[in-house]
Structure 1
Amino acid sequence: MELKTNAALIIIDQQKGILHPRLGRRNNPQAEERMLALLGHWRRSGRPIVHVQHLSRSEDSVFWPQQSGVEFQERFEPLPGEQLIQKQVPDAFCSTALETCLRGAGIEQLIIVGVATHNSVESTARTAGNLGFDTWVVEDACFTFDKADFFGNARSAEEVHGMSLGNLQGEYATVVSTAQILN
């Protein structure tokens, strides 16, 4: 595993709304600290950073553009020169310029962090892998929430997170830890 000098850090949906209590219990309480450690490392090394912002089409979403919650958390606010991609569905490649921007910059390796593991992170990582990018998902810099499965069985955020990472590992992406990247 080698981190390329132009590997892009893709930070998904680090907006104020993701902290809303109505989303329920989550896993990885240190995920944001790890995202910030990676973001700092990327900024210091001059590698490309892409901030993904969700602008929901659904009025009951925490990311509905007509309400507070859609804006970035201050600690994840993009700096000048960092790429901003706005999406309306979980997949950051769908109906956005993300692939064009990455290919135009000659970027082949993507390091994905953010939320929610089972939703925007997984769908973006699947597409990235399908498009041929060398895709890494940082398991401890992502989180998700408790969720019922299709049959109505309650699943913990840890189970949902683990299953999502299991779906990705080896087929669409390589699952890594923050420490593996920073060391």
Structure 2
Amino acid sequence: MHLFRSAFLSALLGLSACLGLAGPASAQGVYDDWSNVKPPAAPALSHVVLDPATTAVLVLDLARQTCHPDTRPRCVAMLPGVAKLLSMAREKKMTVIHTLGGHSTPADIWPQAAMQGDEALVKSGPDKFIHTDLEQILRDKGIKTVVCIGASAHGAVLHTAASAAFRGFNVVVPVDLMASESTYAEQYTAWHLVNAPRLGERVKLTQLDWIN
């Protein structure tokens, strides 16, 4: 029995040592691969024609806390473009819906993106469909396409756009009206939206001047 126990313990120790050596080596190899990855080419953009009766513009978290000049200067720089898109949308009687996160209030929204009239507001985390009536609002209005713009490309824009696509909506994302702390996050978001399973068939990337 003593010999069997010693042999068993030796086998366990040997196996543990092998696993201990294999784990970090594999992880290090993967990390090295990531460090050498070259980003793919920027995703292609498309001209987009919107049907005002079935399109909603989702203005995602354009409050001063999330669209801040120190942390996301590109967000502040895109505000004139946001104002231009909203002016066009309102002129064509499109639905406009605003979102906020955290402790932000409508008073915190930048003037260029401020709510008007009876435009709806929902508050949630990165996915604005979770624990809100956003989907019901869209269904009740007969919306088929959502245009997602916002302060956090890799946050609210990515997750809300993906969630909309998974719910059967068509999604348009103007890449010059989403921002992040880094251009990498913006590029990754765009790539993900048109390459991830079930998203590419519903998501179109565009830019402000290509929207009609």
Distance 1:21-1:35 versus aligned 2 partners, 3 A rule:
closer
Structure 2 CA distance, aligned partners of 1:105 and 1:142?
25
The structure whose residues are more often helix, as a share, is 2
Q: Gapped runs of 5+ residues in structure 2?
A: 1-47, 195-199
Matches of 2:74 and 2:65, distance apart in 1: 17
Question: Whose radius of gyration is greater, 1 or 2?
Answer: 2
Contact 2:82 2:112 survives alignment (8 Å): no
Residue correspondence of structure 1 range 26-37 to structure 2 within 5 A: 26-27=73-74, 30-37=77-84
CA positional deviation for 1:174: 1.1
Higher strand fraction (1 or 2): 1
The aligned runs of 1:31-180 (5 Å cut-off) are: 31-54=78-101, 56=102, 64-65=103-104, 71-87=108-124, 89-145=125-181, 157-169=182-194, 170-171=200-201, 173-180=203-210
Deviations 1:109-129 (A, max 9, x none): 101111200111000001001
Match status 1:8 vs 2:38: no
TM-score for the superposition, normalised by structure 1: 0.79
Alignment TM-score, normalising by the size of structure 2: 0.69
Query: How big is the shift at 1:171?
Result: 4.9
- Give identity over the alignment, percent: 23
Q: Distance in 2 between matches of 1:128 and 1:91?
A: 9
How has the CA–CA distance of structure 1 residues 74 and 2 changed in structure 2, closer, same or farther, with 3 Å as cutoff? closer
Secondary structure (helix, strand or coil) at the match of 1:84 reads strand
Q: Is the 8 A contact 2:150 2:177 kept in 1?
A: yes
1:140 aligned counterpart, secondary structure: helix
| CA distances 1:56-96 after superposition (whole Å, capped 9, x unpaired) | 2xxxxxxx35xx99721233221112111122x11111110
Q: Give RMSD over aligned pairs.
A: 2.1
Unaligned runs of 5+ in 1: 57-63, 146-156
Equivalent residues, number? 159
Instruction: Answer yes or no: is the 8 Å Cα contact 1:11–1:50 preserved in 2.
Output: yes
Alignment check: 8 A CA contact 1:28 1:140 kept: no
